[in-house]
């Protein structure tokens, strides 16, 4: 399959180039030339399929034969080695628990895929591949862990000083080896801008192979479609076939884009709901048709503190930038820290379910948006123990920390200090 740039249909590249480059040369984001529609038989039988079977069938049209079919099948099995269950939280509301991977967040899925897809392309390259990634928390840990010790790949994680939780920080600053953490004296948007500038810098690109692992990379984005199909399969097992609404806590809007792609592949999702914190650029766009990016504001759901969501252009691209069509496909709601806190407390006491701050926005948006006769699945994007400072005071007790998190907390934190200029980042990378 070919992939075009959101800025120009004339720029078309193959899978390998799209994955290695991340961003198109005209600064656009790559999109698949076609979105294949899966046969009806696939959906009729979906409740009988395993996560791995669904994963292979959903991704095959995008990734094979560029990656040979048998090799790709192994890759899918290996990347999806943890479960993604749907759990009933309250009447008509279900959580898709995406936090059973190595770093307890949904970004594990995309990162594990991307590491394996890239490493299938590394053979035959002379130079190392350098991954630059900006993180507001969870991307860094998922990417660092997904790529840890993968031969021929170096990872540089840029993160905003003081704006990432201690647990998140530990997950990418303690690994060492091929993983370097860069602590930037600025915001997440600064980190993201520096990464974007580095990709466009001539000198850097002449001297080293740079690629991105942010949600702009297709090797991360497309695999996220899998779990929407898998969630639907589990709803079918629960006897629910129609009027399924999916609700996605959103920051850079990569996750929900993957859901919209799943729907275009034929997945019978009735509608999507985007839930945000007070960084409500997209809900405002849905309301008014005006897209007005703004500096990001810090919240307790900090992995969604994004003031100019990078995947928004992909959503526009999917629907030819027709506001009316976009609003038919998705609605949006935003919530304050206060509302998030109250929901953590209420859902723990009423439903005996511990949400994380991001999932809490999704739960609230389902409460607000779900109509008579509909059932809703919200994405629980991270495990609550990743945010103990926020969650524990609300539920009034401490949470048991899963073993794989405890192991990180024991490691020694190492990072490089940096200001927000491209010059210093360049100097460091070229050294």
Ligand X SMILES: *Cc1c(COP(=O)(O)O)cnc(C)c1O
Minimum distance from CB of 35 to ligand X (Å)?
18
User: Cα torsion for 82, 84, 88, 93, to the nearest 10°?
Assistant: 160
Query: Does residue 107 belong to the site contacting ligand X (CB under 6 A)?
Result: yes
One residue of 55, 102, 254, 376 binding ligand X per CB under 6 A: 254
Nearest Cα to 430, choosing from 239, 283, 210? 210
Q: How far is CA 88 from CA 42, 51, 94, 361, in A?
A: 25, 19, 4, 17
Minimum distance from CB of 254 to ligand X (Å)?
3
Query: Does residue 358 belong to the site contacting ligand X (CB under 6 A)?
Result: yes
Residue with tokens 């695999």: 223
Of the two residues 204 and 340, which places its CB atom closer to ligand X in the complex?
Answer: 340
Query: Does residue 347 belong to the site contacting ligand X (CB under 6 A)?
Result: no
Residue with tokens 């799943």: 262
Which residues, numbered 141-180, are part of the site for ligand X (CB under 6 A)?
A: none
Which residues, numbered 285-304, are part of the site for ligand X (CB under 6 A)?
A: 303-304
One residue of 101, 146, 249, 369 binding ligand X per CB under 6 A: 249
Cis peptide before 33 (omega within 30 of 0): no
Number of H helices, E strands in the chain: 20, 14
Q: How far apart are CA 348 and CA 89, in angstroms?
A: 10
Over the window 109 to 138, marking each residue x when it contacts ligand X by CB under 6 A and - when it does not, the resulting string is ----------------------------xx
Query: Does residue 255 belong to the site contacting ligand X (CB under 6 A)?
Result: yes
Token digits for 16? Answer: 């390998």
Query: Does residue 375 belong to the site contacting ligand X (CB under 6 A)?
Result: no
Query: Does residue 251 belong to the site contacting ligand X (CB under 6 A)?
Result: yes
Size of the site for ligand X (CB under 6 A): 17
Query: Does residue 6 belong to the site contacting ligand X (CB under 6 A)?
Result: no
Query: Does residue 215 belong to the site contacting ligand X (CB under 6 A)?
Result: yes
Minimum distance from CB of 381 to ligand X (Å)?
3
Q: How far apart are CA 50 and CA 416, in angstroms?
A: 43
Minimum distance from CB of 309 to ligand X (Å)?
7
Token digits for 194? Answer: 């520096």
Query: Does residue 360 belong to the site contacting ligand X (CB under 6 A)?
Result: no
Is the sign of the CA dihedral 249, 29, 285, 281 positive or negative? Answer: positive
Nearest Cα to 362, choosing from 247, 244, 243, 232? 247
Query: Does residue 96 belong to the site contacting ligand X (CB under 6 A)?
Result: no
107: annotated active-site residue = yes
Residue with tokens 């759990």: 87
What crossing angle do the helices spanning 107-122 and 138-147 adopt, rounded to 10°? 40
CB 52 within 8 A of CB 77: yes
Of the two residues 55 and 254, which places its CB atom closer to ligand X in the complex?
Answer: 254
Token digits for 69? Answer: 């079919």
Of the two residues 329 and 358, which places its CB atom closer to ligand X in the complex?
Answer: 358
Q: CB neighbours (10 Å) of residue 292?
A: 10
- Rounded to 5°, the CA angle 179-139-249 comes to 170
Query: Does residue 102 belong to the site contacting ligand X (CB under 6 A)?
Result: no
Query: Does residue 250 belong to the site contacting ligand X (CB under 6 A)?
Result: yes
Is the sign of the CA dihedral 215, 217, 220, 222 positive or negative? Answer: positive
Q: How far apart are CA 339 and CA 197, in angstroms?
A: 36
Query: Does residue 253 belong to the site contacting ligand X (CB under 6 A)?
Result: yes
Q: Which of 21, 92, 107, 386 is catalytic?
A: 107
DSSP H helices, 186-311, are 188-200, 202-207, 218-221, 226-237, 254-264, 281-288
Of the two residues 57 and 138, which places its CB atom closer to ligand X in the complex?
Answer: 138
One residue of 46, 51, 96, 105 binding ligand X per CB under 6 A: 105
Minimum distance from CB of 284 to ligand X (Å)?
16
Q: How far apart are CA 328 and CA 429, in angstroms?
A: 45
Residues with a known catalytic role: 107
**Site residues for ligand X per CB under 6 A:** 105, 107, 137-138, 215, 249-255, 303-304, 358, 381-382
């Amino acid at each position: 399959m070919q992939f075009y740039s959101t800025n120009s249909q004339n720029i078309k590249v193959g899978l390998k180039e799209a994955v290695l480059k991340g961003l198109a040369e005209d600064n656009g984001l790559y999109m698949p030339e076609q979105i294949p529609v899966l046969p009806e038989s696939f959906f009729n039988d979906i409740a009988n399929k395993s996560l791995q079977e669904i994963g292979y069938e959903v991704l095959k049209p995008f990734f094979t034969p560029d990656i040979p079919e048998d090799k790709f099948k192994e890759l899918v099995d290996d990347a999806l080695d943890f479960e993604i269950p749907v759990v009933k939280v309250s009447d008509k509301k279900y959580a898709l628990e995406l936090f059973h991977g190595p770093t307890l967040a949904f970004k594990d899925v995309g990162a594990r895929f991307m590491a394996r897809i890239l490493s299938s392309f590394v053979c035959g390259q002379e130079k190392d591949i350098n991954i630059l990634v900006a993180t507001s928390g969870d991307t860094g840990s998922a990417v660092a862990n997904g790529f840890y010790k993968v031969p021929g790949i170096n990872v540089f994680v840029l993160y905003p000083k003081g704006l990432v939780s201690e647990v998140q920080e530990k997950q990418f600053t303690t690994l060492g080896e091929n993983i370097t953490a860069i602590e930037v004296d600025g915001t997440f948007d600064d980190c993201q801008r520096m990464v974007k500038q580095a990709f466009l810098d001539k000198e850097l690109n002449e001297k080293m192979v740079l690629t991105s692992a942010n949600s702009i990379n297709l090797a991360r984005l497309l695999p996220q479609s899998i779990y929407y199909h898998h969630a639907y399969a589990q709803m079918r097992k629960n006897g629910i076939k129609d009027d399924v609404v999916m609700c996605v806590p959103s920051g850079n809007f990569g996750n929900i884009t993957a859901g919209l792609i799943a729907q275009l592949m034929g997945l019978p999702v009735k509608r999507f709901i985007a839930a945000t914190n007070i960084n409500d650029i997209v809900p405002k766009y849905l309301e008014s048709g005006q897209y007005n990016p703004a500096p990001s504001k810090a919240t307790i759901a900090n992995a969604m503190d994004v003031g100019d969501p990078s995947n928004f252009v992909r959503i526009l691209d999917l629907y030819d930038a027709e506001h009316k069509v976009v609003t038919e496909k998705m609605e949006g709601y935003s919530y304050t820290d206060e509302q998030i806190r109250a929901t953590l407390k209420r859902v723990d006491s009423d439903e005996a379910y511990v949400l994380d701050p991001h999932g809490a926005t999704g739960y609230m948006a389902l409460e607000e948006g779900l109509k008579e006769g509909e059932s809703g699945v919200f994405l629980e994007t991270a495990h609550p123990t990743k945010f103990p400072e926020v969650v524990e005071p609300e539920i009034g007790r401490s949470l048991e920390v899963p073993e794989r998190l405890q192991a990180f907390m024991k490691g020694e934190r190492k990072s490089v200090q940096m200001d927000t200029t491209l010059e210093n980042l360049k100097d460091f990378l070229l050294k």
